[in-house]
Amino acid sequence: MSKQIKPGSTIGIIGGGQLGRMMAFSAKERGYRIAVLDPTPDCPTAQVADWHIEAAYDDLEALKELAERSDVLTYEFENVDAQTIERVLEKVAIAIPQGTELLLITQNRLNEKEFLKKAGISIASYAKIETEADLTEGLKTLGYPAVLKTIRGGYDGKGQVVLRSQSDIEEALDLLGKGTCVLEEWVSFDKEISIMVARNETGDVVTLPVSENIHQDNILLESIVPARVSEDTSKEAERMAKTIAEKMQLVGILGVELFLTESGKIYANELAPRPHNSGHYSIEACTESQFDLHIRAICGYPLPEVELLKPAVMINILGEHFDQALELNNTQPSWHVHDYGKIGVKVGRKMGHVTILTDNIEETLHAIDETKIWN
Ligand SMILES: Nc1ncnc2c1ncn2[C@@H]1O[C@H](COP(=O)(O)OP(=O)(O)O)[C@@H](O)[C@H]1O
Ligand SMILES: [Mg+2]
């Protein structure tokens, strides 16, 4: 086992958004110091970090400075260039326990799909698309509707086009103009669910309870935990997540997004090599949060089994909900209102989230409706 990163050491985080901020909270509680690399002044993580290196993620000198300041490195998003990180690691002897292999797989949808297939995990049929001819051929095989996705850089539904008929081809070709894509068969799912899995170098593997996710305009709106699915489905999701973690030799936390069909079949949709929005509920609802597990894992500590303390509903606060949602601090004192401290409120931008612990999910969903903030 490699050496443990002890409290008092510095954790360097590449990326300064809300995920880094919540990682930092968890790390601070355990006595660590935080250095963050992010180009935005006063970004969410910088507000709670000891050092902020204000530079681009692919700035080699800045990454080197981050590495020199830190005892261990982690990233809070997958679109960091793996090669740049490798170049830094050649110069500075520092661990990045999550590794760069994980990045190479998850920052490229094709690599991710190939990995999942090899790991024996069910995924929707797909085809690699580089030319108009590939697209025509792919649509012949997969049929309408289908989804065309860029292999790199997509998030919150950005970088995708749903093809329902021939008339969507133009839009799809525009997307293809940006680079190689993958065409996916449409999965007419009954529910979207997700599961977080953490693993450390010694091989402890633990999962968080399965979350049921409701999206609006392709952005996660709400997570319900436990997911309203059968015991068998939860067990199968857990098995899939653990298989993925083991085959990847994961260190840290990883989110697995899944589609559940009416007949009970589960397909993996995507992987996130980091904490995930649908795991935020774990801060209040679980014995360990996704951020706690991540910090423990990258610092080389054992991972405990996690229990759900209470069912929960998590709902995102986007720019358009922000002012009203902050009022919940007055009107709903038992709701946990998180504000990421972002400067600049924009429609569709994730500004915070609310977690509600509950004994009655349906009543809570109704109470959320009653606020009229999200409908
Ligand atoms: N093959 C598919 N069939 C049905 N719905 C899909 C498919 N792929 C994506 N979607 C829908 O689009 C959303 C976003 O797609 P996803 O691949 O998760 O990209 P990202 O979250 O990176 O934007 C999914 O959560 C799902 O609702
Ligand atoms: Mg997704």
Q: Is residue 84 part of a domain?
A: yes
Question: Quick one: pLDDT at residue 318?
Answer: 97
pLDDT score recorded for residue 88? 86
pLDDT score, position 81: 85
Residues 50 and 76 placed together within one structural domain of the fold = yes
Going from the Cα of 131 to the center of ligand 1, the distance in angstroms, rounded, reads 22
pLDDT at residue 39, rounded to an integer: 97
To 10 degrees, the CA torsion angle through 101, 41, 67, 200? -50
In a domain, 104, yes or no: no
* Protein residues whose CB sits closer than 6 Å to any atom of ligand 1: 124, 147, 154-157, 184, 186-187, 192, 215, 218, 257, 269-270
Domain residues for 178?
A: 125-185
Dist CA 153 CA 107 (whole Å)? 7
Contact 287, 307 (CB under 8 A): yes
Within-domain flag for 47? yes
Whether residue 230 is contained in a domain is answered as yes
Q: How much is the pLDDT for 119? A: 97
Return the pLDDT at 323: 98
**What CATH number is given to the structural domain containing 141?**
3.30.1490.20
How far away, in angstroms, is 298 Cα from ligand 2 center? Answer: 24
Same domain, 359 and 217: yes
The domain tally of the chain equals 3
What is residue 106's predicted lDDT score, i.e. its pLDDT? Answer: 94
197 and 181 housed in the same domain: no
Residues 164 and 198 in one domain: no
Report the alpha-carbon distance of residue 373 to residue 309 in Å, rounded.
27
Q: Is the CB of residue 41 less than 8 Å from the CB of residue 16?
A: no
The CATH number that applies at residue 341 is: 3.30.470.20
CA dihedral 70, 71, 76, 82 (to 10 degrees): 90
- CA–CA separation, 23 and 351 (whole Å): 16
Residues 134 and 272 in one domain: no
The CATH number given to whatever domain includes residue 72 is 3.40.50.20
Q: Is residue 1 in some structural domain?
A: no
Indicate the top mutation candidate among 149, 188, 269 to test ligand 1's pocket, ranked by most ligand atoms within 8 A of CB.
269
Which residues are registered as beta bridge partners of 211?
Answer: 194
Same domain, 313 and 240: yes
Provide the pLDDT for residue 254.
Answer: 98
Residues 202 and 328 both lie in one domain: yes
Burial class of residue 375, CB neighbours in 10 A (0-12, 13-18, 19+):
exposed
**In ligand 1, which atom is closest to the CA atom of 186?**
3
34 with 140, same domain? Answer: no
Q: Which atom of ligand 1 is nearest to the CA of 157?
A: 23
Do residues 199 and 218 both lie within one domain?
Answer: yes
Residues 367 and 299 in one domain: yes
Alpha helices in 130-186 (DSSP H): 132-142, 169-176
Whole-number Å distance, alpha carbon 331 to ligand 1 midpoint, is: 35
Ligand with an atom nearest the CA of residue 269: 1
Give this prediction's pTM: 0.96
Q: Give me the residues of the chain with pLDDT under 70, please.
A: 1-2
**Residue type for 247, please?**
K
Tokens of 338: 């998180």
Same domain, 232 and 321: yes
Nearest-atom index, ligand 1, CA of 257:
18
Query: Which ligand lies nearest to the CA atom of residue 155 in the structure?
Result: 1
Conformational region of residue 304, where left means phi above 0, alpha means psi within -120 to 50, and beta covers everything else: beta
| Residue nearest atom 8 of ligand 1, based on CA coordinates | 147
Same domain? 181 vs 197: no
Residue 313 has what pLDDT? 98
The predicted pLDDT at position 157 comes to 82
Residue 198 lies in a domain: yes
Task: Kindly give the distance from the C-alpha atom of residue 139 to the centroid of ligand 2, in angstroms, as a whole number.
Answer: 22
